[in-house]
Every structure is written in structure tokens, then in C-alpha cells.
Amino acid sequence: MSVTDAERPSGPPLLRAESARLLVDGVVMYAALTCESRGGRVVVFGDIEPLVRVLSGTAAGASSGSAAVAGGAFEVAGVDVSSAAFRHEVGVALRDVPLPERWSVARYLEWSARLAGLTARDARGRASECLAEVELLRLAGRLTTSLVRHERRLVTLVAALLTNPRALVLVDPLGELEPQGRAAMFDALDRASRARGVVVFQPSLSLEEVTLPLVLGATWVVCVRSGSLLLEGEPERFLGHARAYVVSGIGPVLTLADELERLGVTVSRRAGSLLVRLPEGTAPREVLAAAVRVGVGLTGLAPLV
């Protein structure tokens, strides 16, 4: 995703949560999530499944209580994700959505537009407009059964544009794609994001070839872990965390933080976990050794990126 100052929205934050209480299957997954993004290209990574369940359930008009906002605020582009308007104001493209077999791409998009409330005539026109917007008109006559994985994801992205939403949400659009497929997805994302904000949910980020362009092209990056916000900020903040680890454990975790700081490790205390940045020459095994010394049983020691 590429970004220019002109593309940064001046309206409400693209992603905002204020003490959001999120339930999945009746279980509290986020008790009081609070974050506020800046700019028009946001990447969220970490424990994203509860967030995705809430967003996808609303986008599909699900009436069951399997995933819901039970308190606080959770918004995309100023739209309450629990509101009826969300389905039309925010386009959601999930990963690897099943497509009807042996339908043409044009027929599938027209059908999707009809489901969104457009007339048959308007649906045909809108399907063509959305394909043209991301320069994918070449797919219109292709059968869904002939599409390779990245092409199927591109069609799902186009379907999310049919209501002309103010924001677009994508879930793991790069997962398991070959380089050619990733390049095609980045190109479509760039084109789709010129007229609206984009939020990409990724289970993990790497400062390597696969997801580095997402980080570099974002205006804001959010990391969520263990039911809370771990870190958020501009991409540069994450590029400086190449040796950062998320540490969780059972026992005197705050004592472990003190012990690590004594060893020269930078420690940020978070709800239920520590964010540690190891200096050059220090290995993760030294965190393990420190935990043993202070009596903490580690339950997690994972790279931040």
C-alpha cells in the first residue's frame, strides 16, 4: 500500500476502540480494548480472530450472538461495527471465501451487488466499475473454477467494493500467496485505497519480503495480544522492534521485568505481559534463565515481528 499526505483522511479515525468489550461464543475475548489509528492505511496484527469474528459477523448480517460488541465503542471509519449501516459503509473481504462453482466472475459480482440492494441494471454497471477501479476487467468472463488462489482473493476484494464503502477491511490477504500473487494483491490494494481507507488484519507480521511492504505502506500499525492492546504507532516504531519479544508467564512477572532491566534489557509493562527489546549480544535464552531465577513459569516468548 502506498501513501501520500493527500491520501490521509481528515475525518474520524479509520479504526477506533474505546473500552470495547468483545464477546465470542459468550466468552470475553477483549475486556476493554482501546486504540485510535491515524491516517488511512492501518495494519492490525496479533490475536486478530475475535476482532475479525465481530467484523465478519456484522458484515454478513449475522443475527446470532456468536460474536458481538457487548460494551464500549468499536468503529471503522466512524461507523459503529454493530450498526445496520456497517454492511454498506464498510466493505469486508475475508480470506478464501467460497465462490459459486462455474459462475463467471461478472455473474458472481452482479449477484453480490443484488444482495446488497442494487437493481439488476445497477448491479451490472457497478460490477464493471469495481473491476475497472482495480484494473481487473480481464477477470470478468473467467469462470470461478478457473481462478487460482490470488485471483479468487482479488474477486473477493472487488466484491467488497460493490457498495462503494468509505473503508475497506481485508483479512490476511497475503497468506500463502506466491510472489506473483502478492504483487497482484498489493497492486489491487493500492488502487482500491486511493478512494477510501483500508484496514488489513494479519495474524503475524515479519520484517521480511512477505509483509514488509504492508508495514512500510501503512500510516498506523496496531499489535493486539492476550486480549489487550500491546503496541500501536507509526511503522517506524515497529521497524525498531526487530529484536523485540512478547513475554508472558505465571508468577512474579513484575519481578522478572526488574531482573531483565538489571541485565540491560528494555522492558515495557503491559496488561498480562511484558514487551522486551533485547540489546545486541543478548539471546532469548537469557530471558528464560532470568525467569527461572525469579520463579516465573513462562507461558509465552514470541517475537513481536
At 143-195, the pLDDT tens digits run 999 999 999 999 999 999 999 999 999 999 999 999 899 999 999 999 999 99
Instruction: Write down the pLDDT at residue 260.
Output: 92
User: In terms of pLDDT, which residue wins out, 154 or 212?
Assistant: 154
Residues of the chain with CATH 3.30.70: 244-303
Instruction: Write down the pLDDT at residue 271.
Output: 67
Q: 281: exposed, middle or buried (C-beta count within 10 Å: 0-12, 13-18, 19+)?
A: exposed
pTM, whole model, 2 decimals?
Answer: 0.80
Confidence of residue 274 (pLDDT cuts 50, 70, 90): confident
Q: With 90 as the cut, is the pLDDT of residue 131 above it?
A: yes
Per DSSP, the three-state class of 285 is helix
Q: Which helix (H) or strand (E) holds 13?
A: none
Q: Which fold has domain 244-303?
A: Alpha-Beta Plaits (3.30.70)
| Average pLDDT for 285-292 | 90
Instruction: Write down the pLDDT at residue 208.
Output: 63
Instruction: Write down the pLDDT at residue 143.
Output: 98
Q: Which fold has domain 9-238?
A: Rossmann fold (3.40.50)
CA distance 263 to 259: 7
Instruction: Write down the pLDDT at residue 277.
Output: 84
**Residue 30, beta-bridge partner list:** 22
Mean pLDDT of the chain: 88
Q: Cite the DSSP H helix spans in the chain.
A: 49-59, 86-89, 105-115, 120-133, 149-160, 179-192, 212-217, 235-239, 253-262, 284-294
CA distance 179 to 301: 30
Confidence of residue 283 (pLDDT cuts 50, 70, 90): confident
Task: Please choose, from the candidates 37, 41, 31, the residue with its C-alpha nearest in 3D space to the C-alpha of residue 15.
Answer: 37
Q: With 90 as the cut, is the pLDDT of residue 91 above it?
A: yes
Residues of the chain with CATH 3.40.50.300: 9-238
**240-273 b/e with 16+ CB inside 10 Å = b?**
ebebbbbbbbeeebeebbebbeeeebebeebeeb
Question: Does residue 273 contact residue 291 with C-beta atoms inside 8 Å?
Answer: no
Instruction: Write down the pLDDT at residue 235.
Output: 85
| Average pLDDT for 16-44 | 95
Task: Please choose, from the candidates 273, 271, 270, the residue with its C-alpha nearest in 3D space to the C-alpha of residue 291.
Answer: 273
Q: With 60 as the cut, is the pLDDT of residue 62 above it?
A: no
